[in-house]
Structure 1
């Protein structure tokens, strides 16, 4: 053989040698590249690696689920739905056989009682990944940990090369607080159902279990109320800056609630009152004390509007709105706002909140309100959401001492709409600048004087949308701070370490890139190249 033939043969040999060498070099690298347990966010309660053990997800893998449990089967289908596009594997979902099946098993037996209703145990051996929980919510949480232990490319929507390996491990994990929330303001700017579902999926990855929807404000009313149709049709027609408005039909809202529930997230609807009500007052003249409807509002000022406290129709209105919304909402909470009611006298405010609390309770819901509501007569089960910028509030501390539970959302720590730095193109800074350190490095259970851990129901990260218009804007302001706040809600405070957290947070970057999340690359975090 001479000439081109020899050259082709030599080239083929060279390629084969190079490919073989690359494979030899890549094999140990792939083994070493299993994601360490120390990369998981939120940090688990206990997590012990098993040296020298690797589980490989393969084309023959089956996802097994607790026999007879529809919820477990649904979680198995959810997991397989995430893994199939990137791996290209069939990943059938089937009831688990007797014994210890190979593959991935999601079981509602064998978990320690200590993990409660929301925790799980995760074991990775060379032949199986087994998640055990006492309740389906715990299985779902364990699945999120498993996702983070697989390569970031597993989140892709097209087939990737793999390999799909998980390092040997034993994890026992459960949340510090039962309530771990995020709030999305859809009133200042409206976000259609697809955008909300996208946010729900992001929240689920970090074990957030409540989505608080701020459905009404001065600038827009976002939920259809059959007994008061102009609220949505007219009051929902505007947004900040004159941007397009919009609203959810009751079918839209019901579908969102169901979608969130499939991700073990409970929707908390908010109708803000007595202030932040210009959209409602503009929709119905008869709700105004003077019988004159104001113009719709597209600015960003607060404190100028108020429902008419002495007017009997006000409480008919509230009863009908709350009644319809409560009927659509299977979760236990209904948020009544109550903040920044500067146009309502202190006496009227107390009268109003007292009466509204009774209306909400009559419709079978637990009252949740911004912490301003502690100035009214407390309901036994009422919950106050602290949004202040200080570390003391005598009225909140007194309420906590009398049994009021508190959700911690200090604006200078937890508000995702605050700028990262002065030059951040989005957001505000009235509560201060919030980078990763400020979002993470505080203790919700000991932050507010006189409000101990036993009085704290949980943590919530609000995202107000005066400057937020798109899903890209949501991504940029929520990430990387949302996972920081999620960890404060889930992880035991004994694991709290800012330096370690920044390392784990950086490890999330490649996953966000694959998921299409355009996050803020904080200079406080070392992000892997290419993320």
Structure 2
């Protein structure tokens, strides 16, 4: 590569200090300096390093800013572990340092925000000196997309991945089956998609992912630092499977395809050995395509399953997941069973079940419906969404602490935070954007930033800048009243 040798332009008068840039999530530490440095793009092609710790971060930056090739230095650290990273801006050089691929990708994502909010999208930029040192509060920061009630194709899921990755969301939970549809090819049970994949809410055409499609999503997500978490909901939420294979029903009669939105009416026959053969085949095929450690077995709203049968089923399902080399995750009702070692309980409605998980030594993912469910309306005027749990505006999405949801939990009991987007009212990417943004940014900061550093007024200051940036990227973020209220106060 050959550096440009032209003289730098005149330094603007309003180059923002590093520690006032509107970064989301807010880093642990930003130490601003007194200098301002000019960075200009190189001429020539940037060849990513063969070392994946560095190369994947370089590719991420190149994909996001293909015309921007700044003088970056990458250093592999022996002291920065996990997702931790450091970025230093000094002497007209930018150094990104991390000990892992994940940490370096996080550094690249933060750098991207620094570049944009310093005015660097045009290929040259003045940036104030200083150092960002950062690591996450929680290891798991998730987003759930329900593709069962309404199907979203591979390119739409990739677009979602590109939207959530810059905010350091590192898990994408795909809700792949429900009463309304079965969305992934299982070669040993082909009717699951031949029949169960052809329906969705409102009776519009459904769809499904071939195993190659699913692998394409997995690999795309991985390139952006995101782990796919597949979910096959059971023993309830199973009408699509029951319509495809009568053998899974207690009476041996195929169910009619379902296109409504009620819950709690379906169940697998928990006494039948062939049901567990089915589960083993499904977990084995999906697990083989999923490099991440987790497999979500659902377990929620199984109202049609007798409690004793539900407990016995969850115990066997956990064992099957573990025998296939995965860590089970289940919605919080699974805590009424005998939790297997390592099974993760995802709280959505029952804080007491999260406490049961803690008492058993199992980790919890926090997804309280009243705070994190992105399918909830902002208020009564929202054009789509539900409100059975709550109306959730940005203030409600931001102003809570995962460690206080269930009295007695601490950060050490919590694996992380996840934001579920259920699919009853979403039809397209525009709908996904409307319900996801800007609330996901609030959840991203909760999952990343230490509780003592979080400040709601400052978050709103930073959020206002991101609202503009999201719209510049063609992302249809909701015009939250939280920012309008702030403007009125000011």
In 2: Cα distance, 1:31 partner to 1:77 partner = 31
What does residue 301 of structure 2 align with?
340
What does residue 199 of structure 2 align with?
238
Q: Does 1:284 align with 2:249?
A: no
In 2: Cα distance, 1:41 partner to 1:55 partner = 24
Q: 511-520 or 179-188: which moved more?
A: 511-520
Paired residues of 1:63 and 1:104 also in contact (CA < 8 A): no
In 2: Cα distance, 1:320 partner to 1:503 partner = 50
Which of 201, 219, 227 is 2:162 aligned to? Answer: 201
What does residue 428 of structure 2 align with?
470
Paired residues of 2:470 and 2:476 also in contact (CA < 8 A): yes
User: Where do 5+ consecutive residues of structure 1 fail to align?
Assistant: 1-25, 92-101
In 2: Cα distance, 1:470 partner to 1:154 partner = 32
Which of 430, 439, 454 is 1:481 aligned to? Answer: 439
Mark the structure with the bigger radius of gyration: 1
Which of 87, 90, 95 is 1:130 aligned to? Answer: 95
What does residue 416 of structure 2 align with?
458
TM-superposition CA deviations, 1:55-105 (whole Å, max 9, x none): 42334498687x651341232122123222xxx45x3xxxxxxxxxx8112
What does residue 75 of structure 1 align with?
57
State the shift of 1:525 in Å: 1.6
TM-superposition CA deviations, 1:98-132 (whole Å, max 9, x none): xxxx81122213x6x2x421010000124111110
- TM-score normalized by the length of structure 1: 0.86
Q: 213-222 or 52-61: which moved more?
A: 52-61
In 2: Cα distance, 1:161 partner to 1:178 partner = 34
What does residue 419 of structure 1 align with?
377
Paired residues of 1:151 and 1:165 also in contact (CA < 8 A): no
Paired residues of 2:18 and 2:130 also in contact (CA < 8 A): no
| SS of 2:198 mapped into structure 1 | coil
Paired residues of 2:366 and 2:414 also in contact (CA < 8 A): yes
Closer, same or farther: CA 80–210 of 1 in aligned 2, 3 Å = same
State the shift of 1:451 in Å: 2.0
Which of 187, 205, 215 is 1:226 aligned to? Answer: 187
TM-superposition CA deviations, 1:171-210 (whole Å, max 9, x none): 1000011011110000000000111111111111001111
| SS of 1:518 mapped into structure 2 | coil
Q: Does 1:400 align with 2:383?
A: no
State the shift of 1:441 in Å: 0.6
Which of 57, 77, 82 is 1:117 aligned to? Answer: 82
Number of positions where the alignment pairs a residue of Structure 1 with one of Structure 2: 478
What does residue 139 of structure 1 align with?
104
Q: Does 1:309 align with 2:270?
A: yes
Q: Does 1:186 align with 2:147?
A: yes
Paired residues of 2:90 and 2:129 also in contact (CA < 8 A): yes
| SS of 1:525 mapped into structure 2 | helix
State the shift of 1:435 in Å: 0.5
In 2: Cα distance, 1:350 partner to 1:50 partner = 58
| SS of 1:289 mapped into structure 2 | coil
Q: Within 5 A, what are the aligned runs for 1:349-388?
A: 349-388=310-349
| SS of 2:459 mapped into structure 1 | helix
State the shift of 1:54 in Å: 2.6
Paired residues of 2:41 and 2:123 also in contact (CA < 8 A): no
Q: Does 1:53 align with 2:36?
A: yes
Paired residues of 1:56 and 1:126 also in contact (CA < 8 A): no
What does residue 71 of structure 2 align with?
103
* RMSD, matched Cα: 2.1
State the shift of 1:161 in Å: 4.7
What does residue 326 of structure 1 align with?
287
In 1: Cα distance, 2:10 partner to 2:467 partner = 24
State the shift of 1:151 in Å: 2.5
- TM-score normalized by the length of structure 2: 0.93
Paired residues of 1:236 and 1:245 also in contact (CA < 8 A): yes
| SS of 1:524 mapped into structure 2 | helix
User: Where do 5+ consecutive residues of structure 2 fail to align?
Assistant: 1-8
| SS of 1:397 mapped into structure 2 | helix
Q: Does 1:32 align with 2:15?
A: yes
State the shift of 1:169 in Å: 2.0
Which of 440, 458, 461 is 1:500 aligned to? Answer: 458
What does residue 443 of structure 1 align with?
401
What does residue 8 of structure 1 align with?
none
Paired residues of 1:210 and 1:265 also in contact (CA < 8 A): yes
In 1: Cα distance, 2:93 partner to 2:327 partner = 43
State the shift of 1:140 in Å: 0.4
